[in-house]
Amino acid sequence: MSGRPRGRAYGRARGGIDEQRARRPGEVEQAAAVQPPPVMQPRQPQVQPSSSGSPSGHGGASESHPQLPTELSAMTIGTRAAPEVGFITRPSHIVNKQGSAGRQLPLITNYFRLERAPDWHIYQYHVDFNPVVESKKMRIALLYHHEKMLGRTKAFDGMVLFLPFRLLKQTTEVFTKRNTDDVFIRIRITMTNELPPNSLQCLQVYNIIFKRVLTMIDMKQIGRNYYNPSLAKTFDEHKLMVLPGFITSILQYENDVLLNCDISHKIMRSDSVLDQINDILRLNKDRFHDNATWLLVGSIVLTSYNNRTYKVDGIAWNKRPTDTFKLHDGSEITYKDYYKRNYEINITNSSQPLLVSKPKEKDIRGGQKNDIYLVPELCKMTGLTDKARANRSLMKDVSVFTRVVPDKRYEVLSGFVRKINSNQNVRTMMEDWRLRFSQNIMNLVGRILPEEQVYQKKKDNVSICKQEDANWSQQLREMQQITAVDLDKWLFISPSKYNGNAKDFVDSLIKVGLPMGIKILQPIYCVINNENIDTYISTMQNSITENTQLVMCLLPTNKKDRYDAIKKFTCVETPVPSQIIVMRTLEKRDISSIATKVAIQLNCKLGGEVWTLSIPIKNFMVIGMDVFHDSTAEGRSVAGIVSSLNPKLTKYYSRVIFQNRRQELVHDLATPLIDTLQKYHEVNGILPKCIIVYRDGVGDGQLRAVLDLEVSQILKIFNKVGGPNYKPQFAVVIVKKRINTRFFASTKRPLINPPPGTVIDTVVTKAEWYDFFLVSQSVKQGTLSPTHYNVIKDTTNLTPDHMQKLTYKLCHLYYNWPGTISVPAPCQYAHKLAFLVGQSVHVDPALQLADKLYFL
């Protein structure tokens, strides 16, 4: 997923919920007096497609009439691409997935136990509306007219109804009059399933119920999560507001159904997108279209009528709210009338252009194939603009509000559950469902893995890493790197007015390089008179020779098109490692620290090795995979694959694969992996006997697809490279960073972040998975996020302890940071590679650079 499914845990309901407040005043009383009209012809029940894109819920409208977003449910089991609950990936030979290495550490985690009655069960019904009702809120309100028949204890997401009892008939029909146009709506309620207490679909019901709980305590749904607008922090000068809220999900874990709850903050504009467009027009009429496109395209907007978020892919300057589109029944309606009829919203500006949002994969699967058109007046931009991020004062103020330390996070989460359990309406509803949440946040026991020994050349028996902060930046300047490549034939291109800065920086490089064993000679200085792209490119064309080891360019600003042009030239057209320095960097005080980091980067780009640690596995290859979605070419995806070449895991070979738009799974692994295995054989004289793939960038809903597509490809590649007898020990580990699980060390107060090396493989892991959490990095502010690892394929002889220790070791080997990072180094290298190619290069880099870390 490009990342999106990772944030949506399976079973978490998306969209609206049944809520008493959805009724408009007087609707229940009016409905009770209405008799079914005799002329209504019942229609056979049909399942509405779960489109997220059209006002009709129908994805087959003609191209000339693209469609609007709807609120049709995406929750129905079998109609959405949700993660598969209960999909077993745990290898059969892993009887006990818990490790034992290290010392125990008491922890607190942000989970609460959900307790239910022993004989708890539920009935599922499909609800069909005729004529079709587009608004989910209106469907909810229409069904709630019949509370006398259905009772007060129910959960309805706009399409699927859950009841704790069975209705008298298999199919029940009722009629309700719609207030907006006095049309009679026939509601058909058909029983589809009886869910026993251990049914996996019950998770869906828990999440629907909990979303109703959130509305009862005055939380508002925005996007997928719930926020409290009354506690919003506003920044009037920047027209920004930060809303505090919670990310929640209820899932089955090792032994219990647990509520996972974490703090969330939504940053959004306080004015509408139309207000922003008008501001742009007032500031500069001549470049109005360009400036508006630059600001809006690529941003995420929130629609006020359904609180959903959309990515803006373009601006339809020729479309207006008064334009028409076709509904699923073939009738036409204007956008303006559509919002009036379905949401009771009056659009005041009829001349505004419309925003274009292309359907996501899940929308396409639901039938939404056409572009989605949004009205700027009804949208607010979310997130921070580049201008806001550049404002240090603003960012500091925002971080104070959003960066929550462990002790404070614990207090907020505990108070949140106390508020839920003390609310009388919530307590009544939960008692009706025979459910309740534990008042106490969960405690568990983790382990701190033994401290790793990190070495450089001069100290073969002395570690330069301390577990407290897992950082060795201070020691780097005084110790020689394992393999240092002399830099004596290189270019330094800089504008004439910065030539003095360039020479001072080179002097610093030479000075800091000596203690590290890196011999850097003076470069050939190429002084240019202007700073445009053509001048940099022509200078490189005229100056680079076959002996040039590296090109360094000093840029006045971090202008993207100039950076991209230089990187594309040095990665593709004239392959040579390159280093770009922005003038702002050289103006910082601690130039020595900057020079040290750059010197290490230069050595890596030339094929050098910086530090290492003990890797006990022999004839071993580790592969990192990640996917980045290209900013050009309709969002083409770029997969980065980085593989180790030597026993110390200090040298790597990299390749990229280009795929279709927004495609996360890799369909053509053959060429890069065959080349990688052949390169390993060339370096070592033997094929690897053990291969472990760390796959980043996929979510729980894609585990089966990874096994069926990517893992099956890799197994065939082994046979193709080494023949039928080549069957290396093999494992695939899914890496997830974007998770909502948090851990707090509870050995003392205030609560603190767990130290690097903390591993958790019980209680909040899944019984059907071979998974664990690892805290490998250290943070100085806020609450750190652990990384989740799920071993979905394993034919190695590694024990859980071995797998956990190896993963932690790999988090020490990323050469762009003198400390541990949150993911294994090959994953981070793959991310850096895919990002560079997808953001700047856009074509396959030259193979001459593949055995160097040129992308750092």
The residues annotated as belonging to the active site are 626, 664, 696, 831
Residues in the chain: 856
The one-letter amino acid at 643: S
Distances (CA, A) of 181 to 18, 126, 128, 404, 808: 23, 25, 19, 49, 63
Q: Give CA–CA dist 624/484, Å, rounded.
A: 25
CA-closest candidate to residue 850, choices 693, 641, 553: 641
CA-closest candidate to residue 189, choices 211, 212, 168, 164: 168
Q: Give CA–CA dist 11/84, Å, rounded.
A: 9
Q: Pull the structure tokens for residue 624.
A: 């990192």
CA-closest candidate to residue 823, choices 783, 779, 788, 781: 788
- 3-class state of residue 447 by DSSP: strand
Sign of CA dihedral 373, 376, 382, 384: positive
CA-closest candidate to residue 722, choices 681, 672, 682: 681
Q: Phi and psi at residue 195, in whole multiples of 5°? A: -100, 120
Give the DSSP letter of residue 358.
P
CA-closest candidate to residue 104, choices 654, 762, 547: 762
Residue with tokens 């590694």: 798
For 444, the enclosing helix (H) or strand (E) is: strand 443-448
SS (H, E, C) 166-205: CCCCCEEEEEEECCCCCCEEEEEEEEEEEECCCCCCHHHH
Which residues is 128 bridged to in the sheet? 188
Contact between residue 220 and residue 307 where contact means Cβ atoms under 8 Å apart: yes
> In sequence order, what DSSP letters do the residues of 284-326 get, joined into one string?
-STTHHHHHHHHHTT-EEEETTT--EEE--EEETT--TT-EEE
Residue with tokens 């109804």: 161
Distances (CA, A) of 477 to 504, 517, 597: 19, 10, 10
Q: Phi and psi at residue 17, in whole multiples of 5°? A: -135, 170
User: Torsion angle of alpha carbons 605, 610, 613, 619, nearest 10°?
Assistant: 40
Question: In a 10 Å sphere around its CB, with 0-12 CB exposed, 13-18 middle and 19+ buried, how is residue 279 labelled?
Answer: middle
Q: Give CA–CA dist 409/750, Å, rounded.
A: 11
Contact between residue 850 and residue 571 where contact means Cβ atoms under 8 Å apart: no
Distances (CA, A) of 103 to 445, 447, 486, 756: 10, 5, 44, 13
Q: Give CA–CA dist 564/570, Å, rounded.
A: 10
- 3-class state of residue 161 by DSSP: strand
User: Torsion angle of alpha carbons 158, 160, 166, 172, nearest 10°?
Assistant: 70
Which residues is 447 bridged to in the sheet? 104, 759
The one-letter amino acid at 309: T
Q: 503 Cβ partners below 8 Å, 6+ apart?
A: 525
**Pairing between strand 771-775 and 787-794?**
antiparallel
Q: Give CA–CA dist 462/228, Å, rounded.
A: 52
Which residues is 226 bridged to in the sheet? 221, 246
Q: Can you state the percent helix, strand and coil of the chain, rounding each to 5?
A: 30, 25, 45
Q: Give CA–CA dist 507/521, Å, rounded.
A: 9
